[in-house]
C-alpha cells in the first residue's frame, strides 16, 4: 500500500471492527497507538516500523471519534515514498464504559446521542451483514474480492489446537 487513502482505509477498517467489539464488551479506550511498517526484506534502508500513540481526552468506544484520532495519528506518521506492508491500530487504557472521567464542558446530551447512534449502527450491522453500515473512511471489500490489506487465508497454517476441522484424522 503506497497511497494514504489505502492505508487509512485499512486502519479505519481495523479501528471500526475493534470499536464494535469494545462496545459489545462494555469497554472504552483512552489511548490509541497506530503503526505502519515497510517490508523489512526490501532494499529500503531502516527504520522499517513507525508508530505513534495519542491519549484521548475522554475514554470512548465511539467509532467516529476513534477514526478521527486514528487519522490524525496516521497523518503524523505518513511518509509518501515507502510502500507499506502492514498497518494497524491497537487499543490501550481500557476502561469500563460509562465510568470514565468526563470533560467539564462537554454536553452530556451529545454523548448520549452518540452512544445511541453507535448502538443503532451495531444493531443494523448485526441484523444484516457486518459492514452494511460503515463510515466513509473504512475501506470495503469489492464484490467478493477482499480488500488489499486483508491476509490471504490460502497460506494459513492449520490450527490443530484450536479448530476441530483441522485435526488430523486416521482411519483404520
Average confidence (pLDDT) over 90-112: 79
pTM value is 0.74
Please give the CATH topology (third level) of the domain spanning 4-147. Dna Ligase; domain 1 (3.30.1490)
Predicted pLDDT at 144:
42
Predicted pLDDT at 70:
94
Average confidence (pLDDT) over 69-89: 88
Predicted pLDDT at 120:
86
Q: Kind of pairing, strands 49-60 and 27-38?
A: antiparallel
How does residue 128 score in pLDDT terms, banded at 50, 70 and 90?
confident
pLDDT exceeds 80 at position 7 = yes
Average confidence (pLDDT) over 56-85: 89
- First CA to last CA distance, the chain: 50
How does residue 142 score in pLDDT terms, banded at 50, 70 and 90?
very low
Q: Is the CB of residue 28 less than 8 Å from the CB of residue 94?
A: yes
3-state secondary structure of 119: helix
Rounded-to-10 torsion of CA 114, 119, 122, 124? -100
Q: Average model confidence (pLDDT) for the chain?
A: 82
Number of Cβ within 10 Å of residue 7's Cβ equals 21
pLDDT tens per residue, range 27-61: 999 999 999 988 777 666 666 788 999 999 888 99
| Domain range annotation of the chain | 4-147
Amino acid at each position: 500500500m503506497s497511497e494514504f487513502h489505502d492505508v487509512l482505509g485499512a486502519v479505519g477498517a481495523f479501528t471500526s471492527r475493534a470499536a464494535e467489539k469494545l462496545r459489545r464488551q462494555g469497554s472504552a479506550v483512552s489511548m490509541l497507538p497506530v503503526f505502519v511498517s515497510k517490508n523489512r526484506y526490501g532494499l529500503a534502508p531502516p527504520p522499517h516500523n513507525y508508530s505513534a500513540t495519542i491519549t484521548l481526552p475522554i475514554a470512548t468506544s465511539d467509532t467516529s471519534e476513534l477514526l478521527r484520532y486514528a487519522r490524525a495519528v496516521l497523518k503524523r506518521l505518513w511518509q509518501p515514498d515507502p510502500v507499506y506492508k502492514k498497518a494497524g491500530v491497537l487499543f490501550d487504557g481500557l476502561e469500563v464504559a460509562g465510568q470514565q472521567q468526563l470533560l467539564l464542558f462537554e454536553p452530556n446530551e451529545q454523548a448520549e446521542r452518540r452512544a445511541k447512534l453507535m448502538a443503532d449502527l451495531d444493531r443494523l450491522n448485526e441484523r444484516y451483514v457486518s459492514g452494511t453500515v460503515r463510515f466513509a473512511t473504512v475501506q470495503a471489500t469489492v464484490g467478493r474480492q477482499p480488500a488489499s490489506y486483508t491476509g490471504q487465508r490460502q497460506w494459513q497454517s492449520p490450527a490443530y489446537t484450536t479448530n476441530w476441522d483441522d485435526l488430523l484424522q486416521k482411519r483404520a
